[in-house]
Every structure is written in structure tokens, then in C-alpha cells.
Amino acid sequence: MTENEAVVKPPPSDIGILGWLRKNLFNTWYNSLLTIVTIFFLWKSIPPFIKWAFFDAAWFSPPKVCRQIDGACWSVITKNIRFILFGFYPYEQQWRPLIAMLILFALLYYSKERSHWNKRLFYYWLVGLAVMGILMKGGIFGLPSVESTKWGGLPLTLLLSVFGLTAAYPLGVILALGRRSKMPAIKTLCVLYIELIRGVPLISLLFMGSIIFPLFLPEGITISKILRAQVAIILFTAAYIAEVVRGGLQAIPKGQYEAAASLGLNYYLTMRLIILPQALRIVIPPTVSVLISAFKDTSLVVIIALYDVLKTTQTVLSDPQWMGFSREAYIFLAILYFLGCFSMSQFSRKLEKELDTGR
């Protein structure tokens, strides 16, 4: 390297905050105009919002006080938080769903690290699920029994989404493999399933599950409404996952199958060790999109009168005392859902980065 090449600094206009501003926000006259207009709108909307949401807000006042102030009335949340979060779960027993949720969060958080993915994690989940089940349902260890018809609020939303998504994912993968199967019967079955399910809206599946399906059950047998909604969500999401995964399978070159075959690997091992790890990695972004929208779609269970967190919030708002504070309530709900969706997408990006082998 010669001395002249050694230190060539970028031109001064490109460095520092001013340089960045000039380069990105004021480089042409229309860009400058856009920047100014944007700043104007932000100025008009952000400070009033902050004033409304924080400075003028009432946090714990009764509704009467709330109606006299200009700011947000967060007391609609704080005063009703237990109903919003737990619905009709018996009031003195609400520590149980709370602990169940905390266990779930802890498990999810622990599962985030790929280095934890081993047999032990599987057992943690088994134990965790058992404990959560016992806490929610009761009936043993001196815990009063709580029928699932009383479950509601955030635990219900989490139950429907966490189990819905974790069950839908493997089912979707199996359907995708089935759709590419060489056996005509299996293939036809999978195609039919996927196309039929994708052809109807989730709402109609939920209705079918809650109204039509029980008509076919023999006398005396009932299946809880939550379970039926859960199954509908799983079946629905799986069909979408299947199509996403199929896209990933198609992206794997023929040579990978041939290399696996020439080592003597059978179909199952080829899929498990060679094809799926690559295919599923490729489709992480669209898979997460499907999962995120499925997560939000769990709120559709309101139409079959399940009290998920959306429904409990609406119920609070229909109380004459709290009528008219829907803005605050929905902002709160939006934040809840956003946290869920955002952590999913964060996780997927982390996973993508870790699995990148510089192909």
C-alpha cells in the first residue's frame, strides 16, 4: 500500500449530523419541501398528543372526575384492569391465571435462545403446561375448580394464540410435505384441505365450530367452546403455513435431494436433516407474517361470544359509567397486541441472523 492511498478521508460534507441532514433530507428542492411539510405535521400532532396522553391525563380518578378533564382518562384501564385481563374468572382466584401467564412468559423468554433448545426445554414445557393447566382449571390441590366457560381476557387470548400457533406450524409443515408427496391419495387430500380452508374466512370456521359442529356430536357429549375455537384457529392457520412452507420447499435445489439420497438417507431423514432446515429458514419472514396475523385474528373469537381481551375491553366500555373512553381503551389494547407482534418479529429477525451460514 502506498502512502497516498493510506488515508483518504470522505469529503467533509458527508460526515457529521449536518452532512447527514443535507444528504438525506435536503438534497433536492422537493425533498426539502417534503421534510418541511413532515416536520410541520409532526409538530401539529405529537405535542398535543403528549399533552393529552400524559400532562392532562387522569390515571386513577373515578369516571366523574374523568369527564371534566381535557386529557386522557387512563382510569378506564386502571380501574378495570382485572376485568380486562381476566374476564369472569372468579375475582379472588385471579392470582391463578396471573401466575399461569407469568410461567408462560418465562418459558417463552427462556425458549428464545437457540442454545436452550434441547430435551430439557421440552420437559420444562411439559411441566409448565401441566402447572398452567392445573392453575387455570383447578379442582385438585385444594384449588377450587373453575370451568373453562369462565376463562377470559388475556389468558384466553394467549391460550388461543400460543397453542394455536405452535400446533398450526407443524401441521402446516406436514401439509406442505403432503402436498408435494408422490402418493396421489395423500397429495389430493392435502390439496383439498388447503384449498378448502383457504377458501373460507376464519369467521365462518369459528361459526361452524361453535354452532354446526355440536349438532353432529352424540347426545351428552360436549366439547368446550374454547377447544372448538382453538381447533378452528389451528386448522385455519395451518393451511396458510402450508403454502408458505411449500414455497420454501420449492426453493431447495434438486441437488440437495440427490446428495442426501446418495448417502443412503431415507425420505424421513432427508426431510428432517437436509430439506426442512433449509426450507424453513428461507421462509422465516413470510411464516412470521402468517403467525402475526393469526395472533391478531384470535380476536375474532368475540363473534362466538368468547371473552378474549378485546371482548372484555368492549364489555367495560359498554358500562354506562365508562362509556366514551374507547380511545384510551383501544390504545391500551393496541399496545398489548403490538408488544406481542413486535416480539415475534424481533425473534424472527434474531433467528434469521443466527441461522445465516453465508450461502
Q: Footprint of other proteins on this chain (CB under 8 A)? A: 253, 255-256, 258-266, 269, 273-274, 277-278, 281, 355, 357-359
Report in angstroms how near the CB of residue 13 gets to other proteins at its nearest. Answer: 38
C-beta neighbour count of 203 within 10 angstroms: 14
Listing DSSP states for 170-209 in one string gives HHHHHHHHHHT-S-HHHHHHHHHHHHHHHTS-HHHHHHII
| Nearest to other proteins of 220, 358 (CB atom) | 358
DSSP three-state, residue 101: helix
| Nearest to other proteins of 211, 269 (CB atom) | 269
Report in angstroms how near the CB of residue 315 gets to other proteins at its nearest. Answer: 49
Report in angstroms how near the CB of residue 359 gets to other proteins at its nearest. Answer: 4
Report in angstroms how near the CB of residue 277 gets to other proteins at its nearest. Answer: 5
| Nearest to other proteins of 73, 177 (CB atom) | 177
Pair 172, 236: CB distance under 8 Å: no
| Nearest to other proteins of 142, 358 (CB atom) | 358
Residues 6+ apart with CB under 8 A from 257: 270, 274, 275
| Nearest to other proteins of 20, 117 (CB atom) | 117
Report in angstroms how near the CB of residue 282 gets to other proteins at its nearest. Answer: 10
Report in angstroms how near the CB of residue 136 gets to other proteins at its nearest. Answer: 39
| Nearest to other proteins of 141, 268 (CB atom) | 268
Report in angstroms how near the CB of residue 118 gets to other proteins at its nearest. Answer: 15
Pair 63, 75: CB distance under 8 Å: yes
Report in angstroms how near the CB of residue 113 gets to other proteins at its nearest. Answer: 19
Phi-psi region of 354 (alpha: psi -120 to 50; beta: other; left: phi over 0): alpha
Cα 234 from chain centroid?
13
| Nearest to other proteins of 200, 269 (CB atom) | 269
C-beta neighbour count of 191 within 10 angstroms: 14
C-beta neighbour count of 321 within 10 angstroms: 14
Strand partners of residue 153: 308
Q: Residue 14: how many CA atoms within 13 Å on its side-chain side?
A: 3
Report in angstroms how near the CB of residue 1 gets to other proteins at its nearest. Answer: 25
Distance from C-alpha of 54 to C-alpha of 194, rounded to nearest angstrom: 48
Residue 277's nearest CA partner among 194, 181, 168, 354 is 354
The CA radius of gyration of the chain, in Å to the nearest whole number, is: 26
| Nearest to other proteins of 64, 254 (CB atom) | 254
Distance from C-alpha of 317 to C-alpha of 332, rounded to nearest angstrom: 13
Residues 6+ apart with CB under 8 A from 347: 112
| Nearest to other proteins of 186, 331 (CB atom) | 186
